[in-house]
Amino acid sequence: MARPPRPPAPRRRPAPPLRDGGGAFTSRRAPGSRRLAGALQVSRRRYSIGFVLVVVPLLVITGKLWLLQGVDSGQYALAATQDRIRVQDIAPLRGAVVDRDGDPLAYTVAASRITADPTLVDDPARTALALTTLLDVPSSELTDRLSRDGRYVVLASQVSPETVDEIEELGLPGVFSEDDPVRLYPAGSVAGQVVGFTGREGHGLAGIEQSLDEQLAGTPGERRVEVGSGGHPIPSGIDDSTPAVDGSTVELTLDSDLQFVTEQRLQEACQDGATTRASAVVLDVHTGQVAAMGSCPGYDPGNYSRTDPELLGNPIVSSVFEPGSVLKAVTLAAAIEEGKATPETVLSVNGRIDAGDRIVRDAHDHPPIDWTVTGILAKSSNVGTIMLAREVGDAKLEEYLRAFGLGRTTGIELPGESAGILQDSAEWTESRAANVPIGQGVSVTTLQMASVYQAIANDGVRIEPRIVSSVGGESAPVPESTRVLSESTADDVAYMLEAVVGPGGTAPLAQVDGFRVAGKTGTAQRANPECGCYDGGGYVTTFVGFAPADDPQYVVAVDLERPTSNEEGGQVAAPVFADILRQALTADGIVPSGTPRPDFVLTGPE
């Protein structure tokens, strides 16, 4: 029996082809391959992201290192070096002040200030113990300073160079030194008011130290030094310096020996129980230069902080007073120059004269006396002087007073100079017009009065007084000179001033053995500061003159403030004048006068 035929097999749908990563057809996927492919794709993305997160920072770091080590390495090295650079000022040595012979009155020596940075000090107590003997500062005090907050403390000032060297050899971390020069005044109080002093910062605060501070100070320098962790210089590191320029030496016209004698004599005057202030100035007749200038009480510039601040000035240029009769020389000079009188002119002089709402009297009441103009000056007659002043006229007299330098500063190279007080003549009342010719109602400085007499002694030519001879080796400018009197008038006034010191004059105590002396006394009422009036103010006594009268070389002006005394200038100021003048003449080798004193005619024919 035959078998029946097999039924045909069912047709299968062919599976879609698979692509590999390169796009070629492969064998068909196994069951679940889609899920596997998705997982692989996620893993690949995660790997890519992780790769980026790792590689990019590495690239950034690598680039930064390349910049730091390559392109910017020099800049960062420079910045690191700059952090180690310490900049120190180099202080210049302040210029010296010397007298006309080169003897020092002020000079500077090198010294240092010892400082510390507490943040660099490891052991304050141990460091203090190492420094206490060298600095002469208690160890406990140094420990306290070294333990403070902050980065700068001062341990000691004005330390000598030798001690600084010893400290540097110790190599103490955080301890440093900086310039701190010391100003010395070897003459002490001699010329102290002229020289002045400097403050803590080294700048002048008085006298020449102040007025010529810029020239004396110099120019600071600078040192740039590389330091290590302890703050000390690295031996092989940077060390660049710009040197300081020291200050200029100032040479004064003063003679230290004469200055000393002048101040000693003024000290004696201040010890008489009545004199509260005494001043004197010595001028060279032919140059106007100050040979000596002093006042009592004075001060030592090296210890100025212990002195009453009111005494730290220079009264000779800053304090004013009413000069009294020493000003009569100007009034009589104006009368002679204007042709109103001669030394031999005779006036009948009463003991009093009306002056507006008051009466002016001579020092001693007397009936009418026939005095020559020479006698009026020799006897210091107020009335006779006022009579001559009225002949001259107020406006013309004011012209002469101003020509002699009153009412304005002399221009001397010292701070704080006063111009004095001279009111315009158009504003004078009748009483003031009578007071000014005799030295009341007008105020002057001691230097101004000396300058007046310098002009008379110098044949009528006034030279502005100066006290600086040179700065930095260069001579000071020549001061201005002005003719205020003719030579003949100056000779006439000198003749009359010599009569003041001669027989019958008011100042025989002003004489100096061997020399002919000319000058004038003054006894002016002193204003009482308590009431603003003259009552109870006492007197200012003065004497101004020159010698030799026949060949003048020096002018000396002296004034004494005496609030409780009524003694006259010829009694108390003239002896001081004579002692100072004697020293000036003999020390300079001036030859005694070779001609006799004239016979002075003080009164008219009987």
Catalytic residues: 325
Q: Which distant-in-sequence residues (6+ apart) come within 8 Å of 272 by Cβ?
A: 572
Q: Which distant-in-sequence residues (6+ apart) come within 8 Å of 130 by Cβ?
A: 170, 172
214 burial via Cβ count (<10 Å: 0-12, 13-18, 19+): exposed
d(CA 565, CA 572): 10
Helix (H, G, I), strand (E, B) or coil at 537: coil
d(CA 119, CA 141): 17
How far does CA 282 lie from the centroid of its chain?
Answer: 22
Closest by CA position to 387, among listed 351, 422, 419, 441: 351
CA angle 485, 487, 488 (to 5 degrees): 105
d(CA 291, CA 476): 16
Going by the DSSP 8-state scheme, the letter that residue 485 receives in this structure is S
**Could you tell me whether strands 369-372 and 346-349 are parallel, antiparallel, or unpaired per DSSP bridges?**
antiparallel
Q: How many residues make up the chain in this entry?
A: 606
> How far is CA 15 from each of CA 30, 31, 193, rounded to the nearest angstrom?
11, 12, 125
d(CA 292, CA 284): 10
Pair 416, 463: CB distance under 8 Å: no
- Across the beta sheet with 554-562, the strand order is 290-296, 277-284, 554-562, 539-547, 518-525
Q: Residue 130: count other Cβ atoms within 10 Å of its Cβ.
A: 17
- For the chain, how far is it from start to end, CA to CA, in angstroms? 215
How far does CA 377 lie from the centroid of its chain?
Answer: 41
Amino acid at residue number 329: A
Closest by CA position to 257, among listed 593, 592, 583: 583
Pair 276, 547: CB distance under 8 Å: no
State both tokens at 355. 């002056």
State both tokens at 6. 């097999």
496 burial via Cβ count (<10 Å: 0-12, 13-18, 19+): buried
How far does CA 235 lie from the centroid of its chain?
Answer: 41
Amino acid at residue number 201: E
d(CA 44, CA 32): 19
